[in-house]
Amino acid sequence: MTAKINLLILAFTLGALNLIAQKGDRSVILTGGKIYTATGKTIENGAIGIKGNSIAFIGKPSDAIIAEYERAENLEGKHVYPGLIATNTTLGLTEIFSVRATRDYREVGDMNPNVRSIIAYNAESDITTTVVENGVLFAQICPRGGTISGTTSLVKLKAWNWEDAAYKMDEGIMMDWPRMFKRKGEREDPREFQPDGKYAKRIQELEEFFLAAKSYTKTKYPSERDLRLEAMRGIFNGSKRLYIEADFIKEIREVIAFKRRFELPKITIIGGYEADMVAELLAENDISILVRRVISLPRMAEDHIDAPFLLPSKLAEAGVTFAFQMDGDMEPIQNRNLAFAAGIAIANGLDREVALQSLTIHPAEILGVDDRTGSLEVGKEANFIITEGDLFDIRTGTVLRHYLQGELIDPENRQTTLYKKYLRKYGLPEVE
């Protein structure tokens, strides 16, 4: 009996090794498509070759050695883009908004840098698969709540479990800057604001915590280990990025002063509603923006209705690096509209190439993975999507195929399953 079990284990191991070898040896070259590399270069009638999980060739078909690939395919009339990256999201950390048990993104307490979002990530989320369908292959998952919410991680959106999904673990710390002003009026309408009397006290508490953290991190082997302060080490030595949510110009100026005071190497502002007013200062201090949801109403009653639409083009004009994000109501499911939000910005003055970069290579740079993904270049991972029409156009931008680390993945989800089910029920033709 023992001998039979050993033989079965050996056969299973050899079979698994064979599958791994086949996966690593796969190669295909796709020709004839229009390739948007996100490097400033667009290749008409281009070719992209995959070997294993990497891009082995990109350029004109006439320059490729087709015989080197196991399979060749024509993409005439199709478009090829790098896979999109969603930032500042609770995707995979929540499932049903009205059911508390499915919301796993918030911890009690005010200062929780040691809370890790990655271990709560649900790779089997039904929401995630609907987001992948529209071309998003990676997501920065972020905790919420308190002043310092916890650590963020970058995940790939097709995986077996959180360990498999982890693309870059604990890459940053999420922080909510104390509000100078409190909101008045209805949540969804342009509203008035009034000064928050607790602002000075909260700033003092925040500074005291950072002073303690900086002092703690100067000692390599502290006599008493503090998990919260231990988690802060990375933001002082540059191995982690600090993400600070702030919108108003006075808050943003104080964030810049805070960066200088504590000598924080990497800071990104989330929201930045009035960031265009201090754009030169942001660029000078190398502070990037995860720009507020473009498809939204103005925050101030006196602002023009198109204020959120124009913000990306104003930041780009000033040389500020930024990425799109969809933070707000129903945020996890809204990530499927990430490309269309960029399309709104394009219609309001943003250059198309910059819009693409702000969905791909710019977030990759902010997250510290631009050496692996974010653009279509030889040597980088083969993470890209193939579309029927313009990616940024909600009317024609249909994603046909998704390649993640060189593998063609299936974006099948509950919505597409039910769609096909009821087409069959009523004998209707399937529309691609």
pLDDT interval class at 191 (50, 70, 90):
low
- Over residues 244-295, the pLDDT tens digits come to 999 999 999 999 999 999 999 999 999 999 999 999 999 999 999 999 999 9
Q: What is the pLDDT of residue 329?
A: 86
425/190: higher pLDDT: 425
pLDDT higher than threshold 90 for residue 156 = yes
CATH of domain 84-372: 3.20.20.140
Q: What is the pLDDT of residue 100?
A: 76
Considering 37-41, 100-104, 177-181, the range whose residues carry the highest mean pLDDT is 37-41
Q: What is the pLDDT of residue 23?
A: 45
Residue 240's identity, in one-letter code, is K
Q: What is the pLDDT of residue 14?
A: 44
**Mean pLDDT confidence for 191-204:** 84
Per the CB < 8 A criterion, the answer to whether 217 and 101 are in contact is no
**Mean pLDDT confidence for 206-228:** 92
Phi, psi of 367 (to 5 degrees): -85, -5
Which of 384-412 are b and which e, b meaning 16 or more Cβ less than 10 Å from the residue's Cβ?
bbbbeebbbeeeebbbebbbbbbeeeebe
- Over residues 3-23, the pLDDT tens digits come to 555 545 544 544 444 444 344
Q: What is the pLDDT of residue 11?
A: 47
Kindly report the number of other CB atoms within 10 A of residue 9's CB atom: 10
- Over residues 128-140, the pLDDT tens digits come to 999 999 999 999 9
Closest CA to 276 of 291, 264, 286: 291
pLDDT higher than threshold 80 for residue 187 = no
Per the CB < 8 A criterion, the answer to whether 403 and 152 are in contact is no
Dihedral in degrees, nearest 10, Cα atoms 304, 308, 311, 313: -100
Q: What is the pLDDT of residue 317?
A: 95
In this structure, what DSSP letter does residue 266 have? -
- Over residues 93-125, the pLDDT tens digits come to 998 877 777 888 888 899 999 999 999 999 999
SS3 53: coil
Closest CA to 127 of 416, 414, 417: 414
Residue 198 has which token pair?
A: 């607790």
For the chain, give every domain's residue range.
Answer: 84-372
Q: What is the pLDDT of residue 16?
A: 45
Q: CA angle, 351 as apex, 347 and 352 as ends, to 5°? A: 80
pLDDT higher than threshold 90 for residue 322 = yes
* Helix extents (H) in 81-158: 126-133
SS3 384: strand
**Mean pLDDT confidence for 238-242:** 97
**Mean pLDDT confidence for 396-425:** 90
**Mean pLDDT confidence for 22-27:** 58
In this structure, what DSSP letter does residue 375 have? S
pLDDT higher than threshold 80 for residue 151 = yes
pLDDT higher than threshold 70 for residue 431 = no
Tell if the pTM clears 0.85, that is, is over it.
yes
Q: What is the pLDDT of residue 185?
A: 63
Contacts of 85 (CB under 8 A, 6+ apart): 136, 137, 138, 139, 140, 154, 323, 359, 360, 363, 364, 367, 373, 374
In this structure, what DSSP letter does residue 45 have? E
Per the CB < 8 A criterion, the answer to whether 188 and 298 are in contact is no
**Mean pLDDT confidence for 326-333:** 90
Closest CA to 89 of 158, 167, 141, 166: 141
Q: What is the pLDDT of residue 22?
A: 41
SS3 192: coil
Dihedral in degrees, nearest 10, Cα atoms 292, 295, 298, 304: 120
